[in-house]
Amino acid sequence: MRKIILLALCLLTACATSPTGRRQLMLISPDAAIVQSKQAYLSTVSDLDKENKLLDDPKMSNRVANITGRLVTEAIALYPQSANWEWSVAIIDDPETVNAWCMAGGRMAVYTGLFVKLKLTDSEFAQIMGHEISHALANHTAERMSRAMATSIGIVALGVASDRPAATMAGGALAAKLALELPNSRTAESEADRIGMELAVRAGYDPDAAVSLWQKMGSLGGSKPPQFLSTHPAPGNRETALAEMIPAMRKLNPTGKLAPVTPIVIIRDAPN
């Protein structure tokens, strides 16, 4: 009962601090989020492999690996703890889905619909992946997992109260998958916008692409909004806020020199 009370108190108070100094609700540590995200990622990759949706296209793979690898170089420079992450990208063959994400620990996914629907430049793609990587660097994955776990508090409380790690881990693995579907808070989005633009600029990509990217996002019509927009809500002043950051960001790399490429793994099939 005492452990359940402590867990309830944690729901009412922030338990961690983001890189920008914001207090965050954390029912799960960043390290635990990495472990449980790996389980969820491997499960997701296995399902995609069975559906033959893991793209194995050398040209696309090289483009994704080079751009993302430069962003990872800068991520490691600014956040040294991420040097030990298992950086990887699964390219999902789904031309109708406009989406990308990065789990805790550097495990990423890119949907081909991003390129088909948006006709992305390299700098625009760098803005997307810089933004996604920033969610992981700022522990937004653990934060969203905590929100998911809070909605399933019975599962978590059962594991804590009975000292059954398996129950808690099962709840965490489920939360890792649910976290991909939960919308980010506007504050988390603003944090990822700023950190992501800095990563992209330091990696050698044009910061103006942050604005053109969201203009393209906004132009996508149809009755079903892009999945990316459901988990990345765009406040009305987002383009203005991004544009205001550009002059200062450009000073970080005025010549646009490309960063070295950190090798990352392109997931072409499910691990045995």
pLDDT at 166: 39
Which of 132, 189, 191, 239 is catalytic? The answer is: 132
Q: Is residue 13 part of a domain?
A: no
Global confidence as pTM:
0.83
3-state secondary structure of 56: coil
Q: Is residue 272 part of a domain?
A: no
Q: Is residue 127 part of a domain?
A: yes
Contact 27, 156 (CB under 8 A): yes
Q: Which residue has the higher pLDDT, 238 or 263?
A: 263
> pLDDT category, 157, cuts 50, 70, 90?
very low
pLDDT digits (tens, 9 = 90+) for 8-48: 444 444 455 656 556 666 677 888 889 988 998 999 999 99
pLDDT digits (tens, 9 = 90+) for 246-260: 999 999 999 999 999
Q: Is residue 19 part of a domain?
A: no
pLDDT digits (tens, 9 = 90+) for 85-111: 999 999 999 999 999 999 999 999 999
Q: Which residues pair with 100 in a beta bridge?
A: 110
Q: At what angle do helices 238-250 and 209-219 cross, to 10 degrees?
A: 160
Query: How many domains, the chain?
Result: 1
Contacts of 2 (CB under 8 A, 6+ apart): none
Q: Could you list the residue range(s) of the whole structural domain that residue 222 is in?
A: 2-7+29-267
Q: Quick check: is 132 catalytic?
A: yes
Residue 252: how many CB atoms within 10 A of its CB? 13
How far is Cα 215 from Cα 148, in angstroms, rounded to an integer? 31
Q: Is residue 249 part of a domain?
A: yes
- DSSP codes, 95-147: TT---EEE-TTSEEEEETHHHHHH---HHHHHHHHHHHHHHHHTTHHHHHHHH
Task: Tell me the CA distances in angstroms from 56 to 43, 90, 112, 175, 268, one per residue in order.
Answer: 19, 10, 12, 29, 6
Q: Is residue 24 part of a domain?
A: no
From the number of C-beta atoms within 10 Å of its C-beta (0-12, 13-18, 19+), residue 144 rates as buried
Q: Is residue 15 part of a domain?
A: no
Q: Which residue has the higher pLDDT, 56 or 9?
A: 56
How far from chain centre, in Å, is Cα 47? 20
Residues 127, 133, 139: CA angle, nearest 5 degrees:
135
Q: Is residue 16 part of a domain?
A: no
